């Protein structure tokens, strides 16, 4: 009997902070976007913020959440950076979804004159593999000046709702004095949906989409986002800086479903199989499984795995599967088509390396690999017209956790997924003559649904998973050296 992949008792997530509860993200933005639940962020704030809710709204949505980051001198606060994010998804840290601006305000409470020359907000997105400068790639670096001396004298305000922007005529008169009193500036900074990063052996510019925040303790590589306040001073004095980490979630969607699959979801019926709806399924190449039954009889089975099109699936939903087995040995066919004998999981591979001037294919890189829970399988009536009994079909589906990271790429960092059919686990059947991974099919994991009906789980009662949804982790180091 071949061995199935073991399940280690790991926690259900590697995130430092529990994922937010996003029951209906579509209410956060315009309804035409039809977003799925988009949980999963992974980074704690650089300094612990003080969270508070803004005034309640009448829209039925959660009020905005404010996160306050302070600078203190002799036990008294003199500067506050406030980040304002949506309260429905921002609990322990601010979270921004693609298309949402980074909003906030800066407050200065200066009891004594202070020679501050500028007030600047900086937004940074970085791919990090180490502490050295060469191991940190900034793909977003936005500087937004709120005030400088050349803007003129800022106005004092009595509350955090005021605006300290100068009212002097244009052009303003440079202000050379010190600041004293209370000042407030608000800001709203749009994040780019695409960035251009030098990449590859020739440092050629390439376009990437900013990926989701990624920071897991089993992987050295991370994707981090930060907004910071800098109070600029003269060359003889050190600038003050307040950093605040935030989470970012891109909006990625699958292509439209094939018509018959979309119709089945809309009408609440079962999916048509690959023999009836061949355009609705992607077929892998057939593989030959060789082995022995009961330590004596040799067998050879042709196996083919089908995945519902398109090969992009929204996290929190389901991946429909179908398995086709063909052999003249009816007994072995029955044993391997038993739902309990089929071992299928989703594989996640984190690929990265430390030199941004080399491509993943041409330089030493590392893999961090983990696997999902088992897919569910149940008998199918498809193929019953085969009079010779040489074909078996089995229906299946793999349930996707809502907090998995989406497929992404940024410079030499990759998050990739595939569906893997492992050796069968059936009593009396030895498949050791075949490779451990029988079939592997790359897929994409996205964060939002396509327009129209949404996928739903179709597993019949009694075919629930035997184990809780968790992850099996195997960190693999792979050294590859190659040349163009």
**Per-position DSSP letters for 268-297, written without gaps between them:** T-PPP-TTT-GGGEEEPPPEEEEEEETTTE
The per-residue pLDDT for 236 is: 73
Q: Which CATH number fits domain 39-249: 2.60.40.640, 2.60.40.420, 2.60.40.10, 3.30.930.10?
A: 2.60.40.640
Q: Is the Cβ–Cβ distance between 317 and 404 less than 8 Å?
A: no
User: Token digits for 131?
Assistant: 């502490």
The per-residue pLDDT for 341 is: 95
If 0-12 CB within 10 Å is exposed, 13-18 middle and 19+ buried, where does residue 9 land? exposed
The per-residue pLDDT for 364 is: 58
- CA 308 from chain centre, in angstroms, equals 22
pTM: 0.82
Q: Which residues are within 8 A (CB) of 327 and not within 5 positions of it... i.e. 6 or more apart?
A: 299, 300, 301, 302, 333, 390
Q: Is the Cβ–Cβ distance between 306 and 323 less than 8 Å?
A: yes
Nearest alpha-carbon partner for 108 in 72, 56, 150:
72
If 0-12 CB within 10 Å is exposed, 13-18 middle and 19+ buried, where does residue 464 land? exposed
- For 332, the enclosing helix (H) or strand (E) is helix 330-336
In the chain, residues under CATH classification 2.60.40.640 are 39-249, 259-476
What are the tens digits of pLDDT across the range 324-345?
999 999 999 999 999 999 999 9
Report the alpha-carbon distance of residue 460 to residue 174 in Å, rounded. Answer: 74
Q: Flag residues of the chain having pLDDT under 50.
A: 1-46, 55-59, 356-362, 466-484
The per-residue pLDDT for 304 is: 98
Report the alpha-carbon distance of residue 107 to residue 186 in Å, rounded. Answer: 9
The per-residue pLDDT for 37 is: 40
Class (C level, CATH) for 259-476:
mainly beta
């Amino acid at each position: 009997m071949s061995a199935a992949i073991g399940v280690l008792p790991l926690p259900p997530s590697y995130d430092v902070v529990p994922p937010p509860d996003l029951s209906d993200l579509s209410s956060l933005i315009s309804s035409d976007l039809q977003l799925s639940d988009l949980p999963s962020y992974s980074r704690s704030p650089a300094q612990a913020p003080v969270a508070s809710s803004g005034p309640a709204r009448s829209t039925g949505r959660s009020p905005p959440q404010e996160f306050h980051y302070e600078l203190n001198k002799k036990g008294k606060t003199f500067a506050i950076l406030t980040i304002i994010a949506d309260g429905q998804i921002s609990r322990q840290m601010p979270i921004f979804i693609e298309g949402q601006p980074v909003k906030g305000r800066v407050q200065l409470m200066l009891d004594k004159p202070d020679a501050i020359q500028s007030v600047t907000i900086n937004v940074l997105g970085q791919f990090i593999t180490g502490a050295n400068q060469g191991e940190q790639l900034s793909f977003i670096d936005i500087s937004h000046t709120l005030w400088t001396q050349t803007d003129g004298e800022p106005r004092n305000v009595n509350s955090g709702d005021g605006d300290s922007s100068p009212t002097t005529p244009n052009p303003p008169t440079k202000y050379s004095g010190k600041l004293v009193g209370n000042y407030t500036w608000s800001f709203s900074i749009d994040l780019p949906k695409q960035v251009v990063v030098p990449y590859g052996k020739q440092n050629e510019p390439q376009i990437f989409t900013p990926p989701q925040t990624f920071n897991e303790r089993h992987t050295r590589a991370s994707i981090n986002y930060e907004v910071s306040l800098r109070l600029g001073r003269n060359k003889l004095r050190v600038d003050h800086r307040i950093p605040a980490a935030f989470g970012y979630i891109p909006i990625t969607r699958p292509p439209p479903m094939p018509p018959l699959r979309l119709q089945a979801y809309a009408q609440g019926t079962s999916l048509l199989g690959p023999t009836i709806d061949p355009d609705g399924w992607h077929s892998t190449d057939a593989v030959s499984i060789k082995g022995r039954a009961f330590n004596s009889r040799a067998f050879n089975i042709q196996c083919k795995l089908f995945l519902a099109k398109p090969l992009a699936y929204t996290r929190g939903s389901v991946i429909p599967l179908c398995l086709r087995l063909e052999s003249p040995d009816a007994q072995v066919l029955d044993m391997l088509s038993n739902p309990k004998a089929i071992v299928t999981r989703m594989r996640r591979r984190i690929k990265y390396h430390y030199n941004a001037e080399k491509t993943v294919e041409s330089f030493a890189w590392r893999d961090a690999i983990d696997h999902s829970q088992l897919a569910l399988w149940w008998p199918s009536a498809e193929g019953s017209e085969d009079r010779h009994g040489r074909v078996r079909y089995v229906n299946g589906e793999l349930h996707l956790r809502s907090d998995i990271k989406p497929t992404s790429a940024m410079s030499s960092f990759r998050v990739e997924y595939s569906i893997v059919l492992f050796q069968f686990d059936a009593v009396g059947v030895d498949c050791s003559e075949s490779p451990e991974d029988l079939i592997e099919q790359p897929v994409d994991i996205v964060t939002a649904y396509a327009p129209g009906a949404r996928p739903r789980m179709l597993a019949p009662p009694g075919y629930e998973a035997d184990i809780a949804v968790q992850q099996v982790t195997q960190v693999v180091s792979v050294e590859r050296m190659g040349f163009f």
